[in-house]
Structure 1
Amino acid sequence: MHPQRIPPQPGQESVWDYPRPPRLEDTSKHIQIIFNGVTIADTHRAKRVLETSHPPVYYIPPEDIQREYLVPSPRSTYCEWKGQGAYYTLIVGNKRADDVAWYYPNPTPAFASIKDYVAFYAAPMDACYVDGEKVQPQPGNFYGGWITQDIVGPFKGGPGSWGW
Structure 2
Amino acid sequence: MTKSGKAKAVVNGTTVAETTEWEEVEGNVYFPPSSVKSDVLEKTSHTTFCPWKGTAEYYSLKVGGDKLENAAWYYPAPKDAASEIKDHVAFYKSKVTVSVE
TM range (shorter): over 0.9
Task: Measure the CA separation in 1 of the matches of 2:73 and 2:16.
Answer: 14
Contact 1:84 1:104 in 2 (8 A): yes
Q: Which has the larger radius of gyration?
A: 1
Instruction: Tell me the residue number matched to 1:37.
Output: 13
Q: Higher strand proportion, which one? A: 2
Contact 1:61 1:116 in 2 (8 A): yes
Fraction of identical pairs, as percent: 36
Task: Say which SS state the counterpart of residue 21 (structure 2) adopts.
Answer: coil
State how 1:1-164 maps to structure 2 within 5 Å.
25-50=1-26, 56-125=27-96, 127-131=97-101
Task: Measure the CA separation in 1 of the matches of 2:12 and 2:82.
Answer: 31
Count how many residue pairs are aligned between Structure 1 and Structure 2: 101
Task: Say which SS state the counterpart of residue 112 (structure 1) adopts.
Answer: helix
Q: Please tell me the root mean square deviation across aligned C-alpha atoms, in Å.
A: 1.0
Task: Measure the CA separation in 1 of the matches of 2:5 and 2:92.
Answer: 18
Report the CA distance between 1:93 and its aligned residue: 2.1
**Superposed structure 1 runs of 4+ greater than 6 Å apart:** none
Structure 2: any 5+ residue segments left out of the alignment? none
Task: Say which SS state the counterpart of residue 105 (structure 1) adopts.
Answer: coil
Structure 1: any 5+ residue segments left out of the alignment? 1-24, 51-55, 132-164
Question: TM-score, with normalisation over the residues of structure 1?
Answer: 0.59
